[in-house]
Structure 1
C-alpha cells in the first residue's frame, strides 16, 4: 500500500469533462453530504481569480464532482446545481455554491390538497412527478399508508413531515427524491451497507460529547379512533428498552399532534423516540487522511480507543474538502444509533481498513465488496478508475 496519496478531482458539466478549466485555478472544493432533516448535500468551489482572466460563471449550471487520489481512483460526490456566484477580494477569488441537483425544483410555496388513503410512495411519487424527479424509496416505506392527510404546507415541508413521521432520511440526490430508513444500514435500493470499523490510527482530532438523558422512558402519541369516537394513546420505548408508563426523570414525552390512525401514531412515537436516543451522544471525527468514499448514514464502529469513545455511531454528516495546498480533509459528524444498537454484535459484515489505510484503498484491494454497498450514491467511479490504470 502506498504511504502517500496524490489528491485529484474531476468535474463534469453537461457530460463533458471540464476539469482542465479548473486545474490551475481551484483552491478548494468542499462537499457536505447530509442525512436529510431539511438539509441537502452542498457544494462549494473556490476559484483563484488573481488576474481577472477567469471566464465569468453563472448560476443555474449543473456540475458533477468526484474527489479521490491518483493512486486509488475517484469517489463520486454527486451532481450539484450552482445557485450562487460570489466575487471576493482580497485575494481575488470566485466562490461557487450549490445544492443537490433537483433541489430547486421542489415546490416551496404552500399548497392545499387532501390525500385520502394514499401510501408514502403515492405521495412522494406525485411530488416528484410534478418536477421531473425520480424516486428512490427503501424497504417497506413506500407501502406505508396514510388514511387521511390535509396538506396546507409546501411539498418541501410535507416531505420532511413524512420524514419525521416514519423515521426516514429524505433528501434530493442526483435528480432523485430519496426516502430511506434512518439508521437502517441499507441504501435506498435496499442494499445492506457493511459497518465501517475505524481504529485510533485513522483519526486526527476527535470529540465525543454526551448530553444528559432526555429524561423520558418513552414517547406517547395520540390518534382518533373513528369507531369508538375517542382519543387513544400509544407508546414507544426510547432506546429499545421497555420503560412504558414512566421511567427516566419525567415519564413520557407526549407528541402534541393528533394522528389519524394507530399506525401513524405508533410510527411517529417510534421516530421521535429514536431522535431522542440519537441526541444523547454526538461525535466529531477528523480523519488523519481524507477519505471521500465515506458517506452520510454509514454505520461506524470505533475500536481500540477508551470507553466513552469506542462504540457504535451513525454518520449524520460527512464533509470532504479538497484544499490545493494541503490535500483532502474529511470530517465526520456522528450520532448514536436511534435504536441503541451495538454494531459489534448486530452487524454481520464489516469493512476493516488497516492502520493508515483509507476506505478507497480497502475497496480497491477487496473486490468482493460492491461499491454500491457504501451509500445511496453512485461511487462506481472507483471501479472505472481502477480499470483505466
Structure 2
C-alpha cells in the first residue's frame, strides 16, 4: 500500500527515503514545551531482517509534507516479532543525546551574578550553547549554585520558579518566558459542518478553576529590618474567577527575588486558566509555544490558546494528523456575554 503522506527521512546525514519506503509503517513526532525532549518514533516492517540496524547516537531528521518536524539523535532500537505477526523494528530518537553530559551532575556556584551567567556556565559544561530571554538572563542573584544537579534539573528548576519553558534541542539549551513572543507561526483550526475545515475534533475546557489563584504571594527576608516580609500581586485575568491566594512555601532571598517568583507564578496562573486538546489534518508547521486560533466550534470556546504539546502521526494505512494540547485561553475563549 502506497503512502498518502509525503515524508522523508535522513539517518546519519544520508537521506534514505527511497530505501526505507517499502518498510516504514508509521511516524510519530512529539514536541512538548518544557524539559521533556522532542521525540520521534519510526516503526518498520522488518520481515526478512533486511534493514541495516540503526545505531544509537546517529542523527535522525524527519520531514512531513516538505516541513522538517524533527531533528535529533537515535537513542533506542527495538526488534520484536512472533510467528503470527512477523518481525518489526522500532527506532526512537530524542532532541538531544541522552548519552551525553546533559544528565551529568554539576557542582559550581556564582556570587553576584545573573541567571544568564549561571545557566550559560551550566550549559557549556554540558556541551550546549544557551539561548535565553533577555529579561530572564538579566535577573541578578547574590548567590546561585548547582549542588550535584544536571543541566536538565537546573534548567527545569529555574523554569518552574520563573514561569518559563526550558528546552534542550541540540546544540541549544533554551529558556524563555511563558506567554512570550517566540516568533512561531500562528496555527488556525476551523470546524465546519461540511468538513471543509481542518479541525477534526476538539475536547476543550475553556475555564479551569482548580489550578488558578486570586493572588500570588511570596515571602522574603528583609536584611535591613531583620524580618520576613511579603510581596503580593493579583493573579491576572484567570485569577478573577478564584478566591484562594497562592502563597509560595519557601522564603525568597530578598524583595527582588520575591517579585521574580510572583511574576513567574502569575504567568503560570494565566497559563492554567483553561486546557484542552484538538486534532487537525496534518499541520507540520505547528510547534509547542505557538498560538492556536480556534473558530467554528461555539461561543466561549472559540478564541486563541497557547500550544503546549504537538504530536504528528503519519501512517501508511491511514494518512496523517496533528494533535495539539492547549492552555492559556485568550481572545474570548472562556467567556460568553450573550
TM over 0.5: yes
SS in 2 for 1:336: strand
Deviations 1:139-168 (A, max 9, x none): 432222222123223332111111112221
What is the Cα deviation at residue 242 of structure 1?
8.2
Q: Distance in 1 between matches of 2:311 and 2:239?
A: 36
SS in 1 for 2:248: strand
| Equivalent of residue 18 in structure 1, options 4, 16, 28 | 16
What is the Cα deviation at residue 297 of structure 1?
0.7
Aligned to 2:209: 212
Tell whether the 8 Å contact from 1:166 to 1:267 is kept in structure 2 after alignment. yes
Deviations 1:201-224 (A, max 9, x none): 221111012433446311111222
SS in 1 for 2:141: strand
Q: Distance in 1 between matches of 2:38 and 2:44?
A: 20
Give 1 or 2: higher strand fraction: 2
Unmatched segments (≥5 aa) in structure 2: 192-196, 334-338
Q: Distance in 2 between matches of 1:194 and 1:331?
A: 16
Deviates more, 1:270-279 or 1:252-261: 270-279
Aligned to 2:62: 65
Alpha-carbon spacing, 1:20–1:127, altered in 2? closer, same or farther (3 Å) = farther
Unmatched segments (≥5 aa) in structure 1: 69-73, 187-191, 345-389
Deviations 1:304-362 (A, max 9, x none): 3212321220000010112111222100000125xxx5389xxxxxxxxxxxxxxxxxx
Tell whether the 8 Å contact from 2:75 to 2:97 is kept in structure 1 after alignment. no
Say how many residue pairs are matched.
Answer: 321
| Equivalent of residue 233 in structure 1, options 223, 227, 230 | 230
Alpha-carbon spacing, 1:166–1:222, altered in 2? closer, same or farther (3 Å) = same
Deviations 1:88-133 (A, max 9, x none): 1234111111210345434435444322122222122112212322
Deviations 1:35-88 (A, max 9, x none): 01x3111111101102222222222212122111xxxxx111232111111111
Q: Distance in 1 between matches of 2:215 and 2:113?
A: 29
TM-score, normalised via structure 1 length = 0.76
Pairing 1:119–2:117 present: no
Give the 5 Å matches for 1:37-76: 38-68=35-65, 74-76=66-68
Aligned to 2:155: 159
SS in 1 for 2:251: strand
What is the Cα deviation at residue 275 of structure 1?
2.1
Q: Distance in 1 between matches of 2:212 and 2:164?
A: 24
Give the 5 Å matches for 1:149-228: 149-152=144-147, 153-186=149-182, 192-193=183-184, 195-200=186-191, 201-209=197-205, 210-214=207-211, 216-228=213-225
TM-score, normalised via structure 2 length = 0.86
SS in 1 for 2:246: strand
Aligned to 1:130: 125
